[in-house]
């Protein structure tokens, strides 16, 4: 493990030196290639994709209500958690923000809008001070449900139905545009992810046009406007919650509860007879996990703000720590994406391919609609390849973030010397994040705590 840590730290330092020496403000791809040709997507294709997205949402909802409640036999669990939350996220990082065009939630609203054109114009004006805070709170609730909700097909259908109704109510209250810009969780999440993509997808609602345009990868993360604080917190939570997901079922983390908190705090209170106090201890374990889910992103945010504060002093900048932290927010995105891919790609490899079977028997009722229900699809990943792929992904994500932060610094600070000096504390932060990510990957999994 120490060899990986030293090697990763050395790679980041060398990358920092190379970027600091060779990359200048004039040579950096700080602006998207706006002159590249754009292509219009046929309206028929967009209409078909929108119909498909609504159909898949309905399938996921209906499957949970009428099909088997076994999570691996009902299509809705794989369709939502694996295909959409994982596969479509990575597709967005490669192909752009297609969700803004084909979202089943937005499509449903716009179909209803044709019959009731004034219904979603908004009863109240969305307060500017709320910014993206509602989307962040929904994101926190979503991650909590993913980690601790123990959703089954039936409960997932209830959640999707409730979220669809919430979307309708929100669009009626504050209007369609404000809801999907600031509040709707998946719209905000995938819009941020799409900034990584080498493809820009634009939708002109007034003209009914959707166009695609090539641009330099990651160039949309380099802006000349600082992001709101709420969006910075959203990005930090994206990064930290994925890291916590990799940590919370490890032997180290479970042992921290049973060997420390339980042994030294709970036994003196409840005695040493776990069966008697099991229900209470189970609730305390959930509190322990929930507090950590909130605390770890807060710790990451404080570490980031500390690095920004030192960077401000190194560069002797007149900008406040809050302003600088928002300017550099998007430079964290490659790390967040690398953590996301690293932690989940084996799940997509193992369970995602099961969709081939599930489409033939989506409700686990013994159907074989397409003759694929009994195809052998056992895929066991080579853990040696998995481990080294994870190391490479984490390292590449941090190197890209070092590069983006340097380019952003060249735009913000008055001279190259100040920009380079400002990135020394950011380099320390990146090395720390890399070490933490590799350490989490190296931890053996535990028995699941109080599963």
**209 pairs with which residues across the strands?**
204
Lowest mean pLDDT among 30-44, 94-108, 198-212, 362-376: 30-44
The DSSP code for 70 is -
- Is the pLDDT at 275 greater than 70? The verdict is no
What pTM was computed for the model?
0.91
Residue 273: the pLDDT is: 55
Phi, psi of 124 (to 5 degrees): -135, 155
The DSSP code for 197 is S
Residue 276: the pLDDT is: 57
- What integer best gives the mean pLDDT of the chain? 87
Cα–Cα separations (whole angstroms), residue 250 to 38, 189, 220, 246: 47, 27, 36, 8
What is the pLDDT confidence band of residue 231, given thresholds at 50, 70 and 90?
Answer: very high
- Is the pLDDT at 328 greater than 90? The verdict is yes
Report the range out of 206-215, 368-377, 425-434 with the highest average pLDDT.
425-434
Report the range out of 153-167, 260-274, 339-353 with the highest average pLDDT.
153-167
- Is the pLDDT at 228 greater than 90? The verdict is yes
Going by C-beta distance under 8 Å and a sequence separation of 6 or more, which residues neighbour residue 325? 229, 232, 304, 305, 308
pLDDT higher for 140 or 205?
140
**Radius of gyration of the chain measured on its C-alpha atoms:** 23
Residue 32: the pLDDT is: 45
- 8 Å CB contact between 390 and 342: yes
Residue 279: the pLDDT is: 67
Mean pLDDT, residues 35-63:
91
Phi, psi of 211 (to 5 degrees): -125, 150
The DSSP code for 271 is -
Residue 26: the pLDDT is: 57
Going by C-beta distance under 8 Å and a sequence separation of 6 or more, which residues neighbour residue 386? 346
The share of the chain scoring above pLDDT 70, in percent, equals: 90
CA 355 to chain centre: 22
Mean pLDDT, residues 133-142:
97
- 8 Å CB contact between 336 and 241: no
The two beta strands, 199-204 and 38-41, are unpaired
Residue 30: the pLDDT is: 47
The DSSP code for 33 is -
List pLDDT tens digits, range 184-224.
999 999 999 999 999 999 988 767 789 999 999 998 998 76
User: Measured on CA atoms in the order 391, 393, 396, 397, is the torsion positive or negative?
Assistant: negative
Going by C-beta distance under 8 Å and a sequence separation of 6 or more, which residues neighbour residue 250? 440, 443, 444, 445, 446
Mean pLDDT, residues 434-444:
86
Mean pLDDT, residues 396-418:
89
User: Measured on CA atoms in the order 79, 83, 89, 95, is the torsion positive or negative?
Assistant: negative
Residue 122: the pLDDT is: 87
User: Measured on CA atoms in the order 99, 104, 109, 114, is the torsion positive or negative?
Assistant: positive
Report the distance separating Cα 319 and Cα 325, nearest Å: 10
The share of the chain scoring above pLDDT 90, in percent, equals: 49
**200 pairs with which residues across the strands?**
213
What is the pLDDT confidence band of residue 94, given thresholds at 50, 70 and 90?
Answer: very high
- Is the pLDDT at 60 greater than 60? The verdict is yes
Report the distance separating Cα 349 and Cα 389, nearest Å: 13
**38 pairs with which residues across the strands?**
213
Lowest mean pLDDT among 5-19, 156-170, 209-223, 308-322: 5-19
- Is the pLDDT at 263 greater than 50? The verdict is yes
- Other Cβ atoms closer than 10 A to 276: 11
Report the distance separating Cα 394 and Cα 387, nearest Å: 11
Quote the Cα angle for 310-314-318, to 5°.
90
Mean pLDDT, residues 394-399:
90
Quote the Cα angle for 421-6-246, to 5°.
95
Phi, psi of 203 (to 5 degrees): -125, 125
H-helix segments, 221-378: 229-247, 251-255, 267-270, 274-315, 321-327, 333-351, 355-358
- 8 Å CB contact between 158 and 55: no
Strand blocks (E) in 83-208:
199-204
Residue 271: the pLDDT is: 58
pLDDT higher for 381 or 330?
330
The DSSP code for 219 is G
Cα–Cα separations (whole angstroms), residue 183 to 85, 88, 149, 230, 432: 18, 20, 22, 11, 32
Residue 46: the pLDDT is: 94
- 8 Å CB contact between 1 and 419: no
- Is the pLDDT at 53 greater than 90? The verdict is yes
The DSSP code for 184 is -
Residue 133: the pLDDT is: 97
């Amino acid at each position: 493990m120490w060899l990986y840590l030293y090697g990763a730290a050395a790679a980041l330092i060398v990358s920092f030196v190379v970027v600091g020496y060779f990359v200048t403000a004039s040579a950096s791809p700080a602006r998207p290639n706006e002159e590249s040709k754009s292509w219009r997507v046929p309206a028929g294709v967009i209409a078909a994709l929108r119909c498909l997205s609504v159909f898949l949402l309905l399938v996921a909802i209906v499957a949970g209500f009428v099909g088997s409640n076994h999570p691996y036999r009902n299509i809705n669990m794989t369709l939502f958690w694996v295909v959409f939350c994982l596969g479509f996220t990575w597709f967005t990082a490669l192909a752009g923000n297609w969700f803004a065009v084909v979202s089943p939630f937005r499509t449903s609203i716009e179909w209803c809008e044709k019959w009731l054109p004034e219904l979603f114009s908004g009863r109240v004006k969305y307060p500017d001070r709320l910014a993206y805070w509602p989307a962040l709170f929904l994101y926190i609730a979503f991650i909590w449900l993913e980690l601790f909700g123990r959703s089954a097909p039936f409960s997932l259908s209830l959640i999707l139905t409730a979220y669809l109704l919430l979307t309708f109510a929100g669009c009626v209250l504050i209007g369609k545009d404000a809801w999907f810009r600031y509040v709707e969780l998946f719209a905000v999440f995938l819009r941020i992810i799409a900034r990584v993509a080498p493809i820009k997808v634009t939708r002109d609602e007034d003209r009914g046009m959707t166009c695609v345009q090539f641009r330099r990868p990651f160039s949309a993360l380099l802006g000349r406007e600082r992001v709101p604080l709420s969006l910075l917190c959203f990005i930090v939570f994206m990064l930290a919650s994925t890291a916590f997901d990799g940590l919370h079922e490890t032997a180290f983390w479970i042992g921290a509860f049973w060997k420390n908190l339980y042994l030294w705090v709970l036994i003196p209170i409840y005695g040493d007879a776990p069966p008697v106090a099991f229900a209470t201890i189970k609730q305390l374990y959930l509190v322990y996990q929930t507090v950590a889910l909130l605390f770890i992103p807060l710790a990451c945010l404080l570490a980031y703000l500390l690095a920004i504060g030192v960077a401000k002093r190194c560069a002797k900048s007149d900008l406040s720590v809050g302003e600088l932290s928002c300017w550099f927010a998007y430079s964290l995105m490659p790390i967040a994406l690398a953590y996301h891919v690293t932690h989940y790609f084996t799940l997509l490899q193992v369970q995602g391919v099961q969709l081939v079977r599930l489409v033939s028997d989506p409700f686990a009722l013994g159907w074989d609609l397409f003759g694929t229900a009994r195809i052998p699809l056992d895929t066991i990943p080579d853990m040696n390849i998995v481990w080294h792929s994870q190391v490479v992904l984490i390292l590449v994500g941090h190197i890209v973030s070092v590069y983006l932060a340097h380019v952003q610094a060249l735009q913000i600070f008055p001279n190259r010397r100040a920009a380079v000096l400002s990135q020394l504390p950011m380099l320390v932060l990146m090395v720390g994040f890399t070490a933490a990510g590799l350490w989490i990957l190296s931890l053996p999994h535990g028995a699941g705590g109080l599963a």
